[in-house]
Structure 1
Amino acid sequence: MPYAPRLCLALLLVCSTASWAQDPAPTEETEPRDSPKKDDERDEEDKEDEPEPVLTERVVVSASAATQSRLDAPAAVDVLAADDLSQRAGDHFVDQLRRIPGINVVQFSARDVNIASRSATGGINNSTLAVADGRSLYQDFLGFVMWEFAPTDMELVDRVEVVRGPASSLWGANAVGGLVHLVTKSPRDTLGGQVRVEAGSYASRRVDFRHSFLSGEWAIRGSGSLYRIDAFERPQTITNMFGETIDPDFGLLADDFRDSGTEQPRFDLRADRETNKGTFILQGGAARTRGWIATGLGPFDIEPSTGNAYVQGRWKNGPFEAQLDYNYFDGAGKNLINAIDFGFRSARLHASFGGKKFLGRRAVLGYGADASNTKYDLSIAPGADERNIFSAFAETDVKLSQRWWLATGARADHFKETIGTVVSPRIAIRFKPEPRHTVRMAWGRAFRSPSVLEEFMDVPVIPVALIDWGEVDQDLFDAGILDPNQFPMGFFEFIAINLCQMVPDNCGVAPGESPIYVATTAAMGSLNLKEERTTSFEVGWTAQFNRFEFSASAYATESKDGIDFPQVASYGVGPDGLPVTADDIELSADPDMDGIDEAPPIDMCPLGFDLFPEFVQPCTQGPVTYPQVLTVLLDGQIPSLFQYRNGSKSENRGFEVGTGWHSPRGWSASLNYSWQDTPVSDGVSMDDRLRLAVAEDAANADLDGDGLIADTADFVNIPAEHRISFSAQIDRGKWFSGLTVDHVDDSFWQDVLTSDFWGWVPDYTLVGLRAGLRLPRSRITLTGQVTNLLGDEIQQHIFGDRIGRRATLGMRYSWEGRGDSAP
């Protein structure tokens, strides 16, 4: 495939800009600022005497086509400031998103973390987009974000903008629940360098460095890091939704895979140039990762060679911005349940342009267009070749009167090879009774595009069940279906033992034993998939009072044509209802394809099966083989095909409130609360679905008359109903400290494997503490942090690791730039 390495070098010679859609929307570079005071120049007494100013309005670029203050944004948006990011406890960037109302965070393992805005998250979350400096971090071949490829040094991040609510009208596909946008600092703001070393619990180690300098008109920064941590503890047992205690790792491969720890090296380079023709920014970098990732097909062990590389050029001049970026992702993994090898490679070239224009004195128009081409080489989706997307958007913000504003916008995305054209509109009305108070009503539509695997997956053989015929007989004895007096040696096991003795290899087992039958299924994508559409309505309020800021939002969303992965066929009698006919879906004689028939195709009619009512007629027409007999006797019990399809409908609603406070004396604090109602799936509350499934399982009966017992086809995850987050920081110049407290209500998970592994996770509380001591004369800063201070073994997902208390100590040495030349 044409993944031309020369393209990386060519792109470094291109100057382009800010994001204008999923594919980037406009980014705003931080303006040049005065160099911060040295640590030894800070004077605590002077800080005590400073007046207490009104809180400065924060400017955001991710919520609309025009750069606006947070108060004027047409959507709910929060900003995490640079100082807060570096002073709060957390092992990685995603931990900091717990401070945002409406954001659900879950950590599966040392590397696998995920978020979702205004909905339940899960193993693979595809409803919240993530970008860094306008470059998308979303991997559309599987439909997920690998957060380790986001910036990892929080001191290089200027701010994080989090948009809650549909953002497809500006950013395109997969911004259904919102957007997380990391904006990094210019090298001009980080002149000099730093080396940091940290070590802590679970054998965690981190080493990173950076150096920024001036060279003529250019400001240049190089940075790199290496982070590794051992695996967290796996739970020995879990309690599923039916109250059964099971081993969550039952069926996982015991050999030939690594643990769920991770190792993540990376390197980044950035160069900025400011001229009278605009600001030019060149960026590039490469990173690797390893560890576990949870998917609907089960957990995969990602190979250490898995990596991501990118180059990016941006240009900004007044109201105009442009960007060109190239992202290359290459790796492999092995499924820990069925040993499927998954090799993946994608190469994405993306270009965008945008601008804004005043329309008279009362309106501003923002507009843009972008295009992308992505090429794929996926071992489990061999039919996937490339995807071309062309997009354009426009948005207006009109001042209707002194207190009323109207924002309208729409974006059209055309997917050439798949779903065609999708239009995402948005409208928002703002009322400002006072300059620092805004009431907002917004309506919008967003969409999630099918991932490449959802369209092109083609895995014909996946082990789905290990059938021990002795255990099957015991279950039939326990259910009263078989009489142990009539069948003292069992039924299925007796047949298997005797048939195997009739073939030379004895089915690959010792004489007198029955083989384990490995039933297999197939997993397929669908080229008939449509986009999953979400409509949202929101009422919000944002206000600033001196040093305080407040926000509150209530929302309701409805999603249609949800992309599901249900079982669509089973082994058994076909649609004609007659056994042993051409439309039956038959079990295989050699399901694991090892050359040994675990179900030898022996004619069963001479062995008395011609007396069974199901086989009387077939036996008169020809031989009825052992696999055909199993197909009829196990009719509908073993899945033969899982396939992606549209169909489900879900509804979510919730309420969010947050407040923040900043003091010029170095104090700051925030508090937020989120309430999310139980989702409604296809018109039925998930609470009701759960109660019915549990009752039917306990009674082993079809209580609702749908012909199924404990039907779980329309289940969705249930997020925590209540979530509270508090943080407080203080920076006194020579020392700083931060405290975080997060309480998460119980939650229900159904996004892994089968319903045997689905269940509730109890509520938990995470307490984090971080502190640092600056030694200005030696240019050393000593840091320490503890996460999960209370020490409980917390499991955030039913299939996730148990995460205990973690302590980390670190030392940072910094220096000023030397030999630099001013532009």
Structure 2
Amino acid sequence: MPVSLWAMEPMMPLADMPAMVLTPARVSQPQSEAPASVTVIDRNLIEASGARELYEVLKLVPGMTAIKVDGNVPTVAYHGTQARDSRRMLVLLDGRSQYQPGLSRVNWNDMPVDIRDVERIEVTRGPAAAAYGANAFTAVVNIITRDPRDISKHTVSVRGGNNGILDGRAAAVGHGDNTAWRASVSRRADDGYDEPFEGETRPDRKRIETLNTEWVWESDSHNTFALQVGGSQSRLERQQESGVADIGRYTREPVQKGERAFLGLEWQHVFSATHQLKISTYGQYNKEVTDFGVCYLDPFTGQQGPGGALLFSQELRELYSQNGGDTAATFAAVPTSGPVLSRYGSLQGVAGVNFCADSELDLQEERYDLEVQDTWQINDRMRLVSGANVRHDRVSSQAYLSGTEDNVSYRLFGNLAVDVLSPLTLNLGGYWERDQINGEHFSPRGGVSWRVAPGHTLRYVYSRAVRTPDIYEDQAITNIQALDMSEPFASNPEALLGWSPSYFFITQSSPGTLKPEKIRSEEIGYYGQFRFLELDVRYFQEELTDLLSHALNPFEFEPNNEGWVKHQGTEAQLTFRPTVNHLLRLTGAHIHTHTNKKTETRIAARDSGSALWAWQLASQWGVSTAYYFANDYNDYRYERADLQIRFRHRAGPAELEWRAVIQHALNKEPIVFEENQYQEDRMWLELEMKI
């Protein structure tokens, strides 16, 4: 009899299964004893969701926002606050931090992994800096890829649908006496938002290719080595910047091109059944360039012409600096500025031409990381995880930093679990770190788990964490250069603009005095396992202070720590598996958010949730359906229903599986911002062949 589509192994009743998690305290432990609320999304749940992109399955996490705010750029945030700058959550991919040091963000598009390479996702809901350091601020998403020792077949799949959806993937696997390897390449492409806004089609197509490989060698019973190599390439059409559109006419729409590569090595040594050592190191490289072309308007006439070149003149830059970086004050002072008026007059002598130029927002990031972790079962009642880490981040950018900046950090951590009494477990953790930008910080966490009855646990957790300012926030010196200028400006920029190279007159500089954002969190939770049902309920209070709530881009730059947010609410998740062929998953969150900055409420939904039901109809047929809602994102309600039908059969030596998926928006409202029109149903058909 063929194996169930959603249960690859016969499934025991939930009460008899050891629900183990790895992420909260860096050690495998029963979920009931973990010092945090945890959501686990395993391979079966990923397949049942029908998700096409990795970020989408995080809709199954209570309190999580996972949407596309800018057409082709996913925003993922736990207890979401700012819509476009989601920088308060740590994401790990096989232990490698995907939190990028340059702009404090996680780029979900360029993540060098396909969703079909993922075995399991563990989400620690709540601050986890005590285990992972600064920037594990509101939550940790730990993405774990498939172990090549657990894969036996090669795979090829293709997917096509409306809205320009065209995807493909090929994966191979191999096994030796004590080695195993896997490799996959994939491609995803679609057209982004499909509805025009104000009569114009939004430019937000994307194309992404990924490579992900792993090689594992078990040299003996005590030593295991792993090597991971991969990367990604992306091309995204981006929407016009409103600040640029106000001063010019785009001649070439913005296009963002990205490249990413990584190399990771890991050695695990088992001293005994109760003691093991892990040493891991990795290097990551990321390059991103957004280029565009503009013909600039004369700031006095509002028309195209040579006067637009004044915006890139040395004299206007100097006047801008003299007026404290205030654009309005700068232009108010122009009538009394002899150098600016002289420059403008000379430009009027260049008759009959427009000033046009290309520009680019460039960013190159490198990270080198080395970590040693020791896991020791001291006795029957005590478990200790401790370790040290050193990391070097380097960021280069002409547009954001006017050069290259480095940050070296050092870390020590420890997490201790003690069974104080038979039903009572105490978890204590702390993380000390020091870096060149932010100095020293210590993040503590304490938790108590009380097993009130077999399979039923109450917990209390207190934690504090910080999010340190990134290199851009702390050391920004923006300079947008005019490239490939129109003639005669390209031939003689020093004579016509006063300098070479020539830069946009607006420049932004960070004061270098920003403090880390802080969070203090308390929660009371219940975790229960019944014969067919698993339930986790959490009540929490979170206080976020010293927040950087204002825009920090080359056109709007307001660096300060004036923001604060207070969250208070309840979350619940329920998994019900009455038989091997049925799965019901329900999540819900009710959160009250109070803040002094409206920007922090845009994706802070009061009520949100999801429901997923999967049913294996017969040996070959399966169906799953899901419902997601959030009320509201920036006053717009989000509501969607998905349906997936799967059919599996054999064709000679190959196993074929057909999947048909439809995603239906139930309320037809924009997503967060008015321009995000995403009203047409998404539909695709996929064929996967395994040999």
What is aligned with 1:726? Answer: 611
Which residue of 333, 340, 344 corresponds with 2:363? 344
CA contact (8 A) 1:526 1:643 kept: no
What is aligned with 1:277? Answer: 222
* Residues 87 and 286 (structure 1), Cα distance of their counterparts in 2 relative to 1, 3 Å cut: same
Quote the Cα distance in structure 2 between the aligned partners of 1:262 and 1:651.
Answer: 36
What is aligned with 2:390? Answer: 371
* Residues 50 and 401 (structure 1), Cα distance of their counterparts in 2 relative to 1, 3 Å cut: closer
Amino acid at match of 2:288: G
Which residue of 463, 471, 485 corresponds with 1:452? 471
For residues 174-206 of structure 1, give each alpha carbon's deviation from its aligned partner in whole angstroms, at most 9, with x where no partner exists.
111101111111112112201001100111100
Question: Is the aligned partner of 1:551 residue 2:551?
Answer: no
Quote the Cα distance in structure 2 between the aligned partners of 1:47 and 1:97.
Answer: 22
For residues 366-421 of structure 1, give each alpha carbon's deviation from its aligned partner in whole angstroms, at most 9, with x where no partner exists.
10111111222111212542111111101111111122221111101111x21101
- SS where residue 281 of structure 1 aligns? strand
Quote the Cα distance in structure 2 between the aligned partners of 1:460 and 1:740.
Answer: 47
- SS where residue 562 of structure 2 aligns? strand
What is aligned with 1:541? Answer: 526
For residues 278-322 of structure 1, give each alpha carbon's deviation from its aligned partner in whole angstroms, at most 9, with x where no partner exists.
221111012111225689997997746411000111122332212
What is aligned with 1:316? Answer: 268
* Residues 794 and 455 (structure 1), Cα distance of their counterparts in 2 relative to 1, 3 Å cut: same
The alpha carbon displacement at 1:52 in A equals: 5.3
The alpha carbon displacement at 1:668 in A equals: 0.3
Quote the Cα distance in structure 2 between the aligned partners of 1:304 and 1:294.
Answer: 10
Quote the Cα distance in structure 1 between the aligned partners of 2:8 and 2:142.
Answer: 32
For residues 688-711 of structure 1, give each alpha carbon's deviation from its aligned partner in whole angstroms, at most 9, with x where no partner exists.
xx7xxxxxxxxxxxxxxxxxxxxx
- SS where residue 83 of structure 1 aligns? helix
- SS where residue 181 of structure 1 aligns? strand
Quote the Cα distance in structure 2 between the aligned partners of 1:377 and 1:364.
Answer: 42
What is aligned with 2:259? Answer: 307
What is aligned with 1:744? Answer: 630
Question: Is the aligned partner of 1:268 residue 2:219?
Answer: no
Quote the Cα distance in structure 1 between the aligned partners of 2:581 and 2:523.
Answer: 35
Which residue of 772, 787, 790 corresponds with 2:663? 787
CA contact (8 A) 1:151 1:157 kept: no
Quote the Cα distance in structure 2 between the aligned partners of 1:124 and 1:189.
Answer: 37
CA contact (8 A) 1:123 1:295 kept: no
CA contact (8 A) 2:89 2:136 kept: yes
CA contact (8 A) 2:372 2:388 kept: yes
For residues 517-543 of structure 1, give each alpha carbon's deviation from its aligned partner in whole angstroms, at most 9, with x where no partner exists.
xx9644222311121111111111111
Quote the Cα distance in structure 2 between the aligned partners of 1:143 and 1:726.
Answer: 32
* Residues 125 and 335 (structure 1), Cα distance of their counterparts in 2 relative to 1, 3 Å cut: farther
Amino acid at match of 1:138: Y
- SS where residue 478 of structure 2 aligns? strand
* Residues 799 and 325 (structure 1), Cα distance of their counterparts in 2 relative to 1, 3 Å cut: farther
CA contact (8 A) 1:431 1:439 kept: yes
Quote the Cα distance in structure 2 between the aligned partners of 1:770 and 1:72.
Answer: 35
For residues 708-757 of structure 1, give each alpha carbon's deviation from its aligned partner in whole angstroms, at most 9, with x where no partner exists.
xxxxxx86535111112100112344122211101111222xxxxxxxxx
Query: Which structure features the higher share of strand residues?
Result: 2
CA contact (8 A) 2:360 2:480 kept: no
Which residue of 574, 577, 581 corresponds with 1:662? 577
- SS where residue 459 of structure 1 aligns? coil
What is aligned with 1:98? Answer: 59
* Residues 194 and 58 (structure 1), Cα distance of their counterparts in 2 relative to 1, 3 Å cut: same
* Residues 305 and 192 (structure 1), Cα distance of their counterparts in 2 relative to 1, 3 Å cut: same
- SS where residue 95 of structure 1 aligns? helix
What is aligned with 1:526? Answer: 511
Quote the Cα distance in structure 2 between the aligned partners of 1:521 and 1:298.
Answer: 11
Question: Is the aligned partner of 1:184 residue 2:141?
Answer: no
CA contact (8 A) 2:69 2:83 kept: no
What is aligned with 2:415? Answer: 395
CA contact (8 A) 2:112 2:212 kept: no
Once the two structures are superposed, the pairs formed by residues 152-231 of structure 1 within 5 Å of their partners are: 152-231=113-192
Amino acid at match of 1:67: S
Quote the Cα distance in structure 2 between the aligned partners of 1:438 and 1:786.
Answer: 39
List runs of 5+ in structure 1 lacking aligned partners. Answer: 1-39, 238-246, 464-518, 569-638, 691-713, 749-759, 816-823
Quote the Cα distance in structure 1 between the aligned partners of 2:54 and 2:524.
Answer: 29
CA contact (8 A) 1:235 1:802 kept: no
What is aligned with 1:675? Answer: 590
Quote the Cα distance in structure 1 between the aligned partners of 2:11 and 2:674.
Answer: 51
**More moved, 272-281 vs 221-230:** 272-281
Amino acid at match of 1:322: I
Which residue of 620, 626, 649 corresponds with 1:775? 649
Quote the Cα distance in structure 2 between the aligned partners of 1:408 and 1:287.
Answer: 38
Question: Is the aligned partner of 1:84 residue 2:28?
Answer: no
Quote the Cα distance in structure 2 between the aligned partners of 1:51 and 1:313.
Answer: 35
Amino acid at match of 1:783: R
Quote the Cα distance in structure 2 between the aligned partners of 1:452 and 1:406.
Answer: 37
Amino acid at match of 2:571: E
- SS where residue 109 of structure 2 aligns? helix
Amino acid at match of 1:388: V
CA contact (8 A) 1:82 1:154 kept: no
The alpha carbon displacement at 1:109 in A equals: 4.3
The alpha carbon displacement at 1:66 in A equals: 2.3
Which residue of 226, 232, 236 corresponds with 1:287? 232
Q: Number of matched residues?
A: 593
Amino acid at match of 1:315: W
Instruction: Quote the sequence identity (%).
Output: 19
CA contact (8 A) 2:81 2:600 kept: no
For residues 224-262 of structure 1, give each alpha carbon's deviation from its aligned partner in whole angstroms, at most 9, with x where no partner exists.
01111123235525xxxxxxxxx9x8xxxx9xxx92110
Amino acid at match of 1:398: V
Amino acid at match of 1:727: L
* Residues 525 and 164 (structure 1), Cα distance of their counterparts in 2 relative to 1, 3 Å cut: same
What is aligned with 1:56? Answer: 17
Quote the Cα distance in structure 2 between the aligned partners of 1:266 and 1:528.
Answer: 39
Amino acid at match of 1:120: T
- RMSD, aligned α-carbons: 3.3
CA contact (8 A) 1:395 1:409 kept: yes
Runs of 4+ in 1 over 6 A off after TM superposition: 46-51, 293-302, 335-339
* Residues 185 and 43 (structure 1), Cα distance of their counterparts in 2 relative to 1, 3 Å cut: closer
Quote the Cα distance in structure 1 between the aligned partners of 2:4 and 2:283.
Answer: 46
Amino acid at match of 1:780: L
CA contact (8 A) 1:424 1:445 kept: yes
* Residues 322 and 49 (structure 1), Cα distance of their counterparts in 2 relative to 1, 3 Å cut: closer
* Residues 334 and 297 (structure 1), Cα distance of their counterparts in 2 relative to 1, 3 Å cut: farther
Q: When the two structures are superposed, what TM-score results if normalisation uses the length of structure 1?
A: 0.67
The alpha carbon displacement at 1:342 in A equals: 1.0
* Residues 782 and 801 (structure 1), Cα distance of their counterparts in 2 relative to 1, 3 Å cut: same
Quote the Cα distance in structure 1 between the aligned partners of 2:101 and 2:74.
Answer: 17
Amino acid at match of 1:812: E
For residues 458-492 of structure 1, give each alpha carbon's deviation from its aligned partner in whole angstroms, at most 9, with x where no partner exists.
226799xxxxxxxxxxxxxxxxxxxxxxxxxxxxx
CA contact (8 A) 2:368 2:391 kept: yes
CA contact (8 A) 1:678 1:718 kept: no
Quote the Cα distance in structure 2 between the aligned partners of 1:181 and 1:48.
Answer: 24
The alpha carbon displacement at 1:643 in A equals: 3.8
Which residue of 561, 575, 588 corresponds with 1:646? 561
CA contact (8 A) 2:376 2:384 kept: yes
